[in-house]
């Protein structure tokens, strides 16, 4: 297995550098709107940002105060970063005296029932989206749904799949070959993904208004803040955006057939 991997890696390394160029990259970033005092905004979605239902670049996630910025998929990294920067600049031009909360764990937030759900108008589609979020609040609690995150989307370029399929000597179809190896990527990421949090996690503290944090035996940093001295990412801990019911479901990543079964 190791020799086969090293042989394939060497073949890719000796191929033309364009083999790895052009993979599509996209960013989805969530941020809470807050007052200058750090309290969750109770204002409606800013009119200048357009409709949260139809704007493909700026919308809302669970709450009316939880903005979500979405870039298209770009072949170069700088285009994706420039796009998310442009979206931020446009957003701040219409945000008034509010600011974006920079951390993944929420700011000063009210009790569950006082957290505003995202609103998308009176159309059937818009009302359905709000009702769906009301259900999420009942199942998991509204406070947990305010935890923000950044999602990085990436797909390997067609040139890579053409070269890698030839190197591998695969006889399966192009689609089956890609599905098989994307699932391998996912399995390896799940196996080693903890290292990313260990090296780059940066959310060791959270506001005491976040219900349940005190029960986790966190240390008190000051009158407003809990923290864990050696924590890296409370967002990805049991306190963060997690679902114990889903964690009990055994979802196979061995093959596409097993995954969708």
CA distance 91 to 195: 33
- Over residues 223-236, the pLDDT tens digits come to 999 988 888 988 88
In the structure, what pLDDT confidence band is assigned to residue 247 with cuts at 50, 70 and 90? low
Residue 28 confidence (pLDDT): 98
Question: Alpha-carbon dihedral of residues 89, 67, 143, 111, nearest 10 degrees?
Answer: 80
Residue 10 confidence (pLDDT): 87
- Over residues 128-169, the pLDDT tens digits come to 999 999 999 998 899 999 999 999 999 999 999 999 999 998
Mean pLDDT of the chain: 91
Q: At a CB cut-off of 8 Å and minimum separation 6, what does 171 contact?
A: none
Angle at 199 between CA 193 and CA 202, to 5 degrees: 105
- Over residues 170-214, the pLDDT tens digits come to 888 999 999 999 999 999 999 998 999 899 988 899 999 997 666
């Amino acid at each position: 297995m190791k020799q086969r991997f090293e042989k394939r890696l060497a073949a890719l390394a000796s191929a033309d550098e364009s083999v790895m160029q052009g993979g599509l990259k996209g960013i989805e970033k969530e941020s809470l709107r807050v007052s200058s005092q750090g309290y969750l905004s109770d204002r409606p979605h800013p009119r200048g940002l357009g409709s949260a239902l139809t704007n493909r670049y700026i919308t809302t996630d669970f709450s009316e105060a939880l903005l979500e910025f979405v870039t298209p998929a770009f072949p170069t990294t700088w285009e994706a970063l420039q796009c998310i920067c442009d979206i931020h600049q446009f957003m701040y031009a219409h945000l008034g005296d509010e600011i974006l909360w920079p951390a993944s764990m929420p700011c000063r937030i009210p009790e569950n029932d006082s957290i505003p759900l995202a609103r998308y108008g009176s159309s059937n589609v818009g009302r359905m989206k709000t009702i769906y979020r009301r259900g999420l609040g009942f199942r998991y609690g509204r406070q947990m749904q305010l935890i923000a995150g950044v999602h990085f989307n990436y797909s390997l370029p067609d040139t890579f799949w053409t070269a890698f399929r030839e190197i591998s000597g695969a006889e399966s179809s192009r689609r089956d070959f890609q599905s098989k190896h994307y699932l391998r990527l996912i399995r390896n990421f799940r196996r080693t993904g903890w290292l990313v949090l260990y090296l780059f996690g940066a959310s060791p503290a959270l506001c005491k208004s976040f219900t349940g944090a005190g029960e986790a035996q966190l240390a008190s940093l000051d009158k407003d803040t809990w923290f864990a001295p050696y924590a890296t990412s409370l967002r990805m801990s049991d306190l963060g955006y997690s679902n114990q019911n889903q964690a009990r479901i055994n979802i196979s990543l061995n093959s596409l057939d097993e995954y969708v079964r």
